[in-house]
Amino acid sequence: MRVFLTGGAGYIGSHTLLEVLSEAHEVCVYDDYSNSSPHALTRVEQLTNRKFDVVQGDILDQSGLAAALVTFKPDVVVHFAGKKAVGESVEKPLMYYENNVVGTLSLLRAMEAADCNRIVFSSSATVYGTPQYLPLDENHPLSATNPYGQTKLMVEHILRDWCGARPAATAVLLRYFNPVGAHDSGIIGEDPNDIPNNLMPFVSQVAVGRREKLQVFGNDYDTPDGTGVRDYIHVVDLAKAHAAAISFASAHTGCEAINVGTGRGSSVLDVVRAFEAASGRVVPYEVVQRRAGDVATYCALPEKARNLLGWQAKRDLADMCASAWKWQSQNPDGYKD
């Protein structure tokens, strides 16, 4: 198949690129490098010894996007390109609505110009809002507690309506839980701009000495050790879920939302302990007040992914931490020269 990856140089995009190339697909990456590095693409080429097309461009440049799609003629688009920091979305909501919502409309118009009817969308479990029950299945009520989550919810509705109007169309909405870790080689990985918002990259930077200590955002939640519990999923398992979604999209029409998680929860202190075991380093931390908007527990019910995609996560928290540490220790400054 011919696969077009928007945001293919990013953290999850580059791991999916590697997986898709290893399945002998023809690939084109479209990325503006606003939150990624071209070095990631060079390293994927080294790892796979496979060539692929690359177009540097903005998701909002509809004519440039249409030209790239008409030239490449993809069978399916995997849409990673978008802003993804909850806190930043509260400060800059218009940037989030423009990039994530208008950007997706720009992509869909360009896809129609190129007669491409299949999309796999990088959605997020954040569309479940505050859990009304656990584990979270795909029928859980949807809501948003911040502009970032609102953009994911809006795009899901847009894709559902797009499929409703186009009998030949397919949209697979992959609701990620908490992606962490890196490719086993340690050659590609997560390289956040500035101070990491997320737990794993922050812990990793403390372990390698880039940060002094971790702030644990509250230990008074209704969880086994009082700290927040999340469903962490290895980024390689997540990449394999995308490859399975691409196959599914080639054989089905309509719109399907699918959780991508392990079904297992780990607390903040579980992650700290697992990372110390994987790295052999101490991760100092101090408990501070809760972070606004956080909830106690988020955990997936992963049955639908197994039933529909024939996919399930295989890697555990120790694998996630070991791979994250290998990437971080081999690349203390990420992709920066």
Positions in the binding site for ligand WQD (CB under 6 A): 84, 86, 124, 126, 176, 178, 197-199, 202, 214-217, 228, 230, 268, 291, 294, 298
d(CA 205, CA 191): 10
Nearer to ligand WQD, 13 or 74 (CB): 13
54's tokens: 């690359």
In the bound complex, what is the minimum distance in angstroms from residue 288's beta carbon to ligand WQD?
8
Query: Encoding tokens for residue 204?
Result: 């990793």
The distance of Cα 156 from the centroid of its chain, to the nearest Å, equals: 15
Nearest 10 degrees: Cα torsion 241, 192, 138, 164: -80
Among residues 11, 30, 128, 148, the one annotated as catalytic is 148
* Closest CB to ligand WQD among residues 4, 202: 202
Shortest distance in whole angstroms from residue 201 CB to ligand WQD: 8
Q: Which is nearer to ligand WQD, 281 or 291 (CB)?
A: 291
Task: Collapse the DSSP code of 45 into the 3-class scheme (helix H, G, I; strand E, B; otherwise coil) and give the result.
Answer: helix
Cβ neighbours for 34, distance < 8 A, ≥ 6 positions apart: none
CA angle 257, 35, 173 (to 5 degrees): 5
Dist. CA 85–CA 87, nearest whole Å? 6
CB of 197 to ligand WQD, least distance (A): 5
DSSP per position, 284-296: -EEEEPPPTT--S
Here the tokens at position 238 are 């997540």
Nearer to ligand WQD, 169 or 283 (CB): 283
Q: CB of residue 229 vs ligand WQD: minimum separation in angstroms?
A: 7
Q: Cα–Cα distances in Å, from 35 out to 17, 106, 127, 235, 318? A: 16, 19, 22, 17, 27
Q: Which residue is nearest to ligand WQD (CB)?
A: 228
Q: Is 335 a catalytic residue?
A: no
- 229-230 and 76-79 as β-strands: parallel, antiparallel, unpaired? unpaired
**Smallest separation, CB 290 to ligand WQD (Å):** 7
Closer Cβ to ligand WQD, 34 or 250, answer by number: 34
Query: Which residues are catalytically annotated?
Result: 148
